[in-house]
Structure 1
Amino acid sequence: MDDMTEPTDDTSTPEPIASTPVTSPPTSSSSAAWSALPDWEKRFRAPRVSLPDWAEDAPSRALFVSNVTGTYELYAWDRDTGEQRQVTDRPNGTTDGVLSPDGEWIWWFADTDGDEFGVWMRQPFKGGADEPAVPGLAASYPAGLAIGRDGTAVVGRSLDEEGTSIHVVRPGGEPVEIYRHRESAGVGDLSYDGTLVAVEHTEHGDAMHAALRVVRLDGALVAELDDTKGGTKDLGLAVMGFAPVDGDGRLLVGHQRRGRWEPMIWDVATGRETELRLDLPGDVSAEWYPDGSGLLIAHDFEARTELWRYDIASGVLTRVETPTGSVSGATARPDGTVEYLWSSAAVPPVVRSTSGAVVLDPPGPQAPPSVPVEDVWVDGPGGRVHALVQRPEGATGPLPTVFDLHGGPAWHYSDTFAAAPAAWLDHGYAVVRVNYRGSTGYGREWTDALRHRVGLIELEDVAAVREWAVSSGLADPERLVLTGGSWGGYLTLLGLGTQPDIWAVGIADVPVADYVTAYQDQMEALRPLDRTLFGGSPEEVPERFRASSPITYVDQVRAPVYIAAGVNDPRCPIRQVENYVERLAARGAVHEVYRYDAGHGSLVVEERIKQLRQELEFAARHVPAATGTRPEGG
């Protein structure tokens, strides 16, 4: 609670593909300054890149995200010449970008200071002035985008007073609305020949489990697929993409019919569904190989990723070799190679190829490594809970310990590199990341378990892992930090109030603090999810919202609380944070609040470092890591 998204972190050691760097390597003086920085800051500052997205009909043209200037922005890359060019340059950064199939245009979403409300702009791939991509459409929240080979665009929009609408925009023409509904929906994909549009929608009222509809460009119905009908429930579908072949109406679809995410092929003309019964135990996603002959399979199981190639004609599944760890994105190239963004908890990310080369090597110094992750399974009230545990190198317990709760809630922590947990480790804290009920990657029932006891169920799992951490000798029960961002920030504040005796400090980033006010103020697209989780709106089920809202328990909070909030955040709006803070202040509770000029997090490196430094210093004042240990640079 990403289009192109910000990468995790990265490093590289194999032979890179030659390319012109986006900026010059550090000078000797800047190298000296770099050496003087603490490792935790280096991990944030080190240049990083995302997995490059490439144009379907011009595969040498690519688009990626990098923080090389200190702010995450979009970059164009001509792989034939090696030339790289910064596309966007905005104070609060830009990460949402799409290449047109011919590679001639870069579309990017222009919001205001992170508020996620804006319009699509476009710029020629080789450079030039930005222009409105769809002049006839006013600003909105984005709800998907697909661009056709003839320049036709299918644009999804979300507005508080109108719900979701989808518009077709032909070159030189006016936008034509082909879909509208109050419930959440979005553009899934546009067929290769530009005649069919796949829409994900939740018209049935269950925002956690979408249905699919395929329409023509005039909105005429072609086919529907809805796994929530016929007495079934809690079965979602997801668009994975049309076949990349002219005249081919096959749509790759994700389904949950056997208790996990799996791919199948749906022929929208005949209605034939071909389920791929893959002998893989975890969630499975897929995308087409460029010639349509096979599927690139991403298998996510127990916080790690494997890649496979599935041959459609023979049904043969072949392993695509990758190191042990996590793949944050992968794509099959026309030459048959696979490029992927890989990392582990110990090793910063790198964009690799199955050819053995590093695909895109960012300039400048690399991020320092961290320590490996240990897998722990704990018996919880709803089943076995998976936790990822790291401890400072050479340290023995009991240690001050940070319990880091992920956002989402439909997401999960994996064996991947992250700068913030590594910073806590550098300062003497053990780090425990819990994949509580609600997390993805452990089956549909685990993900869907939150309903009606939102927040409270997740915290039961966190408490079980906490008990293990203390009884095993890892964690000092008097020095436990509860922290998280977004949904993790929400759980942090809820945990401080409902479990006041077990946490020494709470640190919440962009949290839900007052759920009813958050529901009233948040972007419209999120309200259907809340109604699904709670079984209704605050007016319909007030007791459930009251039981799951941190502000209900604010007077029970004993631990010092640190809160960081973006003043332009449309997901966890500022007013509901202020309500919670006022209640803390009224009773004289120890707390600090940091408000910053951005939305749901920041894309500016210095801002991220500033926030984490403040959090480290806050924790050090109230839960010192070890005798004499103070935050580096604090």
Structure 2
Amino acid sequence: MSETGKQVDAGTGSDAGAGSDAGGAVTPDWEKRFRAPRVSLPDWAEDAPDRSLFVSNATGTYELYAWDRATGAQRQVTDRANGTTDGLLTPDGHWIWWFDDKDGDEFGVWRRQPFTGGADEAAVPGLAPSYPAGLALGRDGRTVVVGRSTDEDGSTVHVVRPDAAPGAEPVEIYRHRESAGVGDLSHDGSLIVVEHTEHGDAMHSALRVLRLDGSVVADLDDSKGGEVELGLECLGFAPVDGDTRLLVGHQRRGRWEPMVWDVASGEETDLALDLPGDVSAEWYPDGSALLVAHDFEARGDLWRYDLATRELTRVETPRGSVSGATARPDGTVEYMWSSAAEPPVLRSTSGRVVLDPPGPKAPASVPVEDAWVEGPGGRVHALVQKPAGATGPLPTVFEVHGGPTWHDSDSFAAGPAAWIDHGYAVVRVNYRGSTGYGREWTDALKHRVGLIELEDIAAVRDWAVASGLADPDRLILSGGSWGGYLTLLGLGTQPDAWALGLAAVPVADYVTAYHDEMEALKAMDRTLFGGTPEEVPERFEASSPLTYVDAVKAPVYISAGVNDPRCPIRQVENYVDRLAGRAAVHEVYRYDAGHGSLVVDERIKQVALELDFAARHLR
């Protein structure tokens, strides 16, 4: 329940954009956007491409669905109170693997069931519950590589070998205290890539190639010996038997871009793609070309790169963002596209919509406008939306993204659209720490964690007020996860700048959060701060919202999942107790899930509570 005892039912608030549904019930457009059925980009079985797996909210909770493209048949695979999104098809298409945790705590085991339906079973008997750290399944149907993470063991990789006796326990082939995970398994099932951070920098991985017995084949580490840390990521082995080429993402030119590394010979092929911004890629199914995903200034597009001719050809997509894409065996490309104004649609280069979920479509929103603002660390990119035809100054929500290594884009988001429907302008800031603007921009937040990001947000806030867009007396700082952390930190370090704060699943007390959070995030925090709270206490104190809680003047709304392993509930309660101790205006909503909710009704309720809190506490 709410801390103050006030309850707000899902769907309450303004009827902006409301329409009548069947039966005469009035549902506002903002709620329809959450309820509209959606699907993810389907995963497909490498050796049975007609068998696909996707995620949908069709039942009101995000769950896994199997889709037989040959017959058109679809069926729901999982059915859990808090939803399921982590799943994988075996290459032969016979099995669906899914991760089973408890109430969103992300700590659990892998289970599997037949593609055609049947009972679930333990997928890897003998492995105790853990946090997942990658999974790779062999084409032989028997080879399994499982990455695990626990506080006790650090990061481990376990293998079920194809010659193992039935029921034999998996064999551990890798272990390290620092974070690591499974990258990929070669097409013939003989080689494994492990992404690791043994050098202690959790923001920049290195790669190690192992055989199934754990013996080392090759290492690639761009971080060692350099003053500037560079990261690598595994993008996948070539989909051809006996092919030892590995597609690798690197940062050697100050941004993410792909190269090809032959792990047997050591030869590296630099693709040097002439595209600004960050670039990623995946293989076409025959291994002759790459599907290139290009992200630049909050928008994305696709390209085809022919490895023989080195020719780069654009794959035509509308202006906006591509959130995922895959090349099919027939040469077509399927991709998920949206813009800030237009809801997601799963398209194919064949010209058709690939998978159109049944039910009402999400109402459109308004286009996004770009703003470039000079900040203390360089030009800051912000995305601005306001109600159609509205003129400022407007009450304005600064919606801060999580991550922090993430970025807001010109893509459809029901949350910002809800605020716009209620008459607010929405500003989203890709502060230092965001991806998509080069390695230096992403890496800039080290040591002065949180404070650097807030400097960029302050610069955009000043621009928004000076430009006449935002009403300086009605500025809301809002965000979830890292965005929730920045919200609480901003309310305390910039107490006169904000009229209201809305923090979802936030870091509130950084020292307690560090000790309670999952091990992989501890490694990330050690990288960001340069040590543990005991080693660099002054840095944790300077960056913790709890340090500044007594300076907070604005009303604060906080929502938190009681099973959250990323921003655990105890550290939130510490912050709330301090607010309550001085009778500061605040409300808290706790819900039975982890780091956010996969249940549509629950998400709608949370947005309704935020809208109501703002309506009651803003002029």
TM-score of the superposition, structure 1-length normalised?
0.93
Q: Is 1:70 matched up with 2:60?
A: yes
8 Å CA contact 1:149, 1:194 repeated in 2? yes
In the other structure, the counterpart of 1:406 is 401
Name 1:299's counterpart in structure 2: 294
- Aligned residue number for residue 159 of structure 2: 168
Q: Provide the secondary structure at the position in 2 that maps to 1:358.
A: coil
Q: How far, CA to CA, are the matches of 1:74 and 1:312 in structure 2? A: 35
Aligned counterpart, 2:133: 143
* Cα pair 2:161 2:212 within 8 Å, conserved: no
Q: Which of 26, 36, 40 in structure 1 is aligned with 2:30? A: 40
CA distance in 2, matches of 1:274, 1:262: 12
**Contact 1:437–1:461 (Cα < 8 Å) also in 2:** yes
What are the Cα deviations for residues 315-363 of structure 1, in whole angstroms up to 9, with x where unaligned?
0000000000000000000000000000000000010000000000000
1:477 partnered with 2:472: yes
Give the drift of 1:30.
Answer: 9.6
Structure 2 Cα separation of the partners of residues 612 and 593 of structure 1: 13
Tell me, what secondary structure is at the counterpart of 1:463?
Answer: helix
- Shift in alpha-carbon separation, 1:286–1:505, aligned structure 2, 3 A: same
Matches within 5 A, 1:343-382: 343-382=338-377
Q: 1:326 aligns with which of 321, 325, 341?
A: 321
Following the alignment from structure 1 to structure 2, what is the Cα–Cα distance between the partners of residues 458 and 326?
24
Kindly state the Cα deviation for residue 231 of structure 1 after the two structures are TM-superposed. Answer: 2.7
Contact 1:63 1:75 in 2 (8 A): yes
- Aligned twin of 1:59: 49
Counterparts in 2 of 1:118-197, with a 5 A limit?
A: 118-150=108-140, 151-170=142-161, 172=166, 173-197=168-192
Q: Distance in 1 between matches of 2:495 and 2:105?
A: 33
**Structure 2 SS opposite 1:360:** coil
Partner amino acid, structure 2, of 1:399 = L
Structure 2 residue matching 1:450: 3-state secondary structure: coil
* 1-structure distance, mates of 2:147, 2:529: 26
User: 1:623 Cα deviation (Å)?
Assistant: 1.5
1:161 CA displacement: 1.3
In structure 2, the residue corresponding to 1:488 is in which secondary structure? helix
Q: Which amino acid aligns with 2:103?
A: D
Report the AA paired with residue 593 of structure 1.
V
**For 1:386-535, what aligned pairs fall within 5 Å after superposition?**
386-535=381-530
SS of 1:552 mapped into structure 2: helix
Q: Determine if contact 2:398/2:478 at 8 Å carries over to the other structure.
A: yes
Structure 1 Cα separation of the partners of residues 170 and 618 of structure 2:
57
Q: 1:34, 1:404 → 2: CA distance?
A: 34
Change (3 A) 1:317 1:33: farther
Query: What is the rounded CA distance, in whole Å, between the counterparts of 1:231 and 1:512 in structure 2?
Result: 32
Tell me which residue corresponds to 1:275: 270
Q: Deviations over 1:365-417 (max 9, x none)?
A: 10000000000000000000000000001111000000000000000000000
Q: How does 1:249-288 map to 2 (within 5 A)?
A: 249-288=244-283
Counterpart for residue 546 of structure 2: 551
**Paired residues, number:** 596
Contact residue 158 and residue 524 of structure 1 kept, 8 A? yes
Residue 541 of structure 1, aligned match among 531, 536, 543: 536
SS in structure 2 of the partner of residue 483 of structure 1: strand
**SS across alignment from 2:210:** strand
Pick aligned residue for 2:104 from 114, 118, 135? 114
Measured in 2, the distance between the counterparts of 1:377 and 1:271 equals: 43
Whether the 8 Å contact between 2:395 and 2:423 is mirrored in structure 1 is yes
Shift of 1:230: 3.2
| Equivalent runs, 1:591-630 vs 2, <5 Å | 591-624=586-619
Tell me if the contact between 1:34 and 1:42 (Cα under 8 Å) persists in the aligned partners: no
Contact kept? 1:227, 1:233, Cα under 8 Å? no
Residues 268 and 70 from structure 1, CA distance in 2 versus in 1: closer, same or farther, beyond 3 angstroms? Answer: same
AA at the equivalent of 1:619: A
Aligned to 1:212: 207
Secondary structure at 1:76 match in 2: strand
Task: Find out whether 1:341 has 2:336 as its counterpart.
Answer: yes
Structure 2 stretches lacking a partner, 5+ long: 1-18
Structure 1 position 34, deviation (Å): 7.9
Give the match's secondary structure for 2:444: helix
Give 2:72's aligned residue.
Answer: 82
Alpha-carbon deviation of 1:275? 1.0
Matched with 2:16 is: none
CA shift, 1:174, in A, is 1.8
Q: Which residue of 1 aligns with 2:8?
A: none
Q: Which amino acid aligns with 2:572?
A: V
Matches within 5 A, 1:92-103: 92-103=82-93
Give, in whole Å, the separation in 2 of the partners of 1:327 and 1:398. Answer: 33
Q: C-alpha offsets along residues 463-485 of structure 1, whole Å, 9 cap, x if unaligned?
A: 00000000000000000000000
The alpha carbon displacement at 1:169 in A equals 1.2
C-alpha separation between the residues in 1 aligned to 2:453 and 2:216?
A: 41
Partner of 1:572: 567
* SS across alignment from 2:382: strand
Write the letter of the residue equivalent to 1:388.
L
Q: What SS class does the counterpart of residue 354 from structure 2 fall into?
A: strand
Match of 1:26 in 2: none
CA distance in structure 2 between the partners assigned to 1:230 and 1:31 by the alignment: 63
* Distance apart, 1:232 and its partner CA: 4.5
Deviation at 1:31, TM superposition (A): 4.3
In the TM superposition, what whole-angstrom CA distance separates every residue of 1:75-130 from its partner, at most 9, and x where no partner exists?
A: 00000000000000000000000000000000000000000000000000000000
Percent identity at matched positions? 81
CA–CA distance in structure 1, aligned partners of residues 428 and 66 of structure 2: 35
Measure, in 2, the Cα distance between the counterparts of 1:375 and 1:217: 49
CA distance in 1 between partners of 2:484 and 2:182 (Å):
30
Superposed CA offset, 1:222-242 (max 9, x none): 000000123353200000000
CA–CA distance in structure 1, aligned partners of residues 429 and 507 of structure 2: 19
Would the aligned equivalents of 2:183 and 2:194 in 1 still touch at CA under 8 Å? yes
Q: Distance in 2 between matches of 1:388 and 1:31?
A: 32
Q: Secondary structure at the match of 1:138?
A: coil
Separation in 2, partners of 1:121, 1:142: 12
Alpha carbons 1:387, 1:435 under 8 Å: kept = yes
Aligned equivalents of 2:557 and 2:70: distance in 1?
Answer: 49
C-alpha distance in 2 between matches for 1:51 and 1:204: 35
Matched to 1:114, the amino acid is G
Amino acid aligned to 1:57? D
* Alpha-carbon offset, residue 162 of structure 1: 1.1
Letter in 2 for 1:83: A
- d(CA) in 1 for partners of 2:399, 2:339: 17
In 1, distance between residues paired with 2:487 and 2:37?
Answer: 31
Asked if the contact 2:21–2:27 (Cα under 8 Å) also holds between the matched residues in 1, the reply is no
CA RMSD of aligned residues (A): 1.0
- The code of the aligned residue for 1:613 comes to A
TM-score, length-scaled by structure 2 = 0.95
Measured in 1, the distance between the counterparts of 2:401 and 2:270 equals 32
Q: Secondary structure at the match of 2:511?
A: helix
1:590 and 2:590 are equivalent in the alignment? no
